[in-house]
Amino acid sequence: MPKNIAVYPGTFDPPTFGHINIIERGLKVFDEIVIAVAGDTMKDTLFTPEERVEMLKEIFKDKERVKVESFKGLLANYVMSIKAKVILRGLRTVIDFEYELQMALANKKLYPELETVFMMTEEYLSYFSSSLIKEIGKLGGRLTGMIPALVEKRLHDKLSKSK
Ligand code: COA
């Protein structure tokens, strides 16, 4: 039987427990999850795509069914190129809904066989975002419970170099 692969895309600048939670729960539904790190993004990122891929690979090093890659250009083209048919997305609050609907419909217009599957982010993680974490880090706040220790270390190193 062909593998049921889902692509979980994002910028992951940096990855948080919010992303990790969606991936871990996604593994209960899909055979394999490919974390697709957006290489070119409109966002002003702190970490390079290579650094973001490295962090995610380290986080999921014991999970055989999780792959990490970076992609450039249209997400839908990338998903088709690796012969997947599902995009996995997390929904945090209703604020995410409009943007997600637009993306899911646009991706479907590009490739009608592509499906987007949504998972609700767990309540205690629903106020997280990578920008919020970077801001707390910059201002010297505690990031315990928001990002893994290895990400926190990388964030502190990066922020101290950029001072
Ligand atoms: N828990 C906590 N935070 C979460 C989360 C979760 N489960 N899921 C997402 N977030 C946060 C992210 O960290 C991000 O924070 P930030 O805005 O401060 O960086 C924010 O929510 C938005 O996340 P997301 O909606 O996943 O945006 P993104 O920038 O990470 O990813 C792409 C968007 C890369 C998937 C999208 O832009 C894309 O597909 N780009 C490729 C080009 C393309 O195909 N464009 C046409 C699309 S139709």
Ligand 1 site-directed mutation target among 75, 81, 93, 107, most atoms within 8 Å of CB = 75
Residue 13 has what DSSP assignment?
A: S
Ligand 1 centroid from CA 41, angstroms: 10
Global pTM value = 0.96
Per-residue model confidence (pLDDT) at position 40: 84
- Distance between CA atoms of 124 and 13, rounded to whole angstroms? 20
Q: 73-130 pLDDT, tens per residue?
A: 999 999 999 999 999 999 998 888 999 999 999 999 999 999 999 999 888 888 889 9
Query: Which residues, 6+ apart, have CB-to-CB distance to 146 below 8 Å?
Result: 16, 17, 128, 133, 136
More confident residue, 123 or 13: 13
Per-residue model confidence (pLDDT) at position 125: 87
Per-residue model confidence (pLDDT) at position 95: 87
